[in-house]
A and B are shown apart, each in its own frame.
Chain A
Amino acid sequence: MKERKKNKKNINRNLYFIIILIYFVFIAYSYFFGIPSGIEIGNNLISFLLYMMKILPCAFILIGLFEVWVSRERVEKHLGHKGGLRGYVWAIILAGTMGGGLLVALPVSSALYKKGARLSVIFTFVGASAIVRIPMTLFEASFLGIEFTAIRWLASIPLIVISSIFLEKYLIKKNYSMKS
């Protein structure tokens, strides 16, 4: 059984490797022989990679500092099972003031989880990082109007919190634990 699982994992890894290889061969070929679609895809890759590389290294260093300097007790007290409603408020404030969206929120949430934050707070945080980021919200309000943004906030924040609580209940029953 274990052997078979290991085999499957190996096949998956090889498949990934082949897909990535084909992709890069295609991109290289396109640049070399001037195939427009391949060049455009390659340019997309580079511009997105550069955009992320501006944010991610800082984010990971900040996460590392957080893990060494902030005590488990403190995280548990505010974001754990003892935190109560306050935990959700903190999660939303943290998500709102943090940049980078989901790709930064995910490693942060895994660091919080390791320090004892409860799952519902984590899901609220990840959900909120998609919808309440302040810079993004200002942008939205200036293009679509304040009313649009206000309704979106008022409707989506409670839904995120409620769904996170239910998701936590379901996952506790299933003995779920997050990878790290």
Chain B
Amino acid sequence: MWVFYVTGILLLLSFFADKKKTKKALLIAYKRFIFISPSFLIMLIFVSIILFLFPQEKIIMYLNFGNHTVNVIMAALVGSITIMPGFVAFPLAGILKNSGISFMIIASFTITLMMVGTITFPVEASYFGKKVTLIRNIISFIIAIIVALLIGLYFGEIII
């Protein structure tokens, strides 16, 4: 992974330029890591349980059981509470598309998945505070729905 090399090279450069500063940088890194680790642990526990409750087969089922409007809302909710890396999410989106699920439902799932973080709430709250984290995630949810609707309009899946 290139991140390792970049970090290593920068760290070496920094070390040769100024040992004291580099030591301070590592101390800052350590302190920041300690600061976030309790919320991080809580988040990991959430992740492990949510991944258990929402395996891929179940997600496909949740996105495909009612009428179109219900499915869009369900997709947004499932996307908001689950978490998965892009290399899992987009192949899944590809499967959904091939099984005939509309772009609007897929969009509402993948965009909330990216933008709304229920599981990451404890981590985010230790930086922004609970209130701002809540506001930010509600705004993100609304933006995700707007964008999903625009995608639905573009692909002719909803007609005004």
Contact = CB atoms under 8 A, between A and B. Distances in A.
A57 B4 CA distance: 9
**Chain B binding surface SS class:** helix
Contacts of A125: none
A156 B26 CA distance: 36
Contacts of B25: 61, 64-65, 67-69
B10 A65 contact: yes
B156 interface: no
Interface stretch (B59-67, B70-78, B106-114): B106-114
Contacts of B24: 64, 68
A156 B127 contact: no
Interface residues of A, number: 64
B7 interface: yes
Contacts of B28: 63-64, 67-68
Counting chain B residues whose Cβ lies within 8 A of the other chain, the interface size class is 35 or more
B32 A44 contact: no
20 contacts: A40-B52, A41-B51, A41-B52, A44-B47, A44-B51, A58-B6, A60-B32, A61-B25, A64-B25, A68-B28, A131-B115, A136-B86, A136-B114, A139-B87, A144-B103, A152-B107, A152-B111, A167-B139, A176-B132, A178-B127
Query: Which 8 pairs from chain A and chain B are nearest by CB?
Result: A64-B29, A64-B25, A143-B94, A45-B48, A44-B48, A64-B28, A136-B86, A60-B29
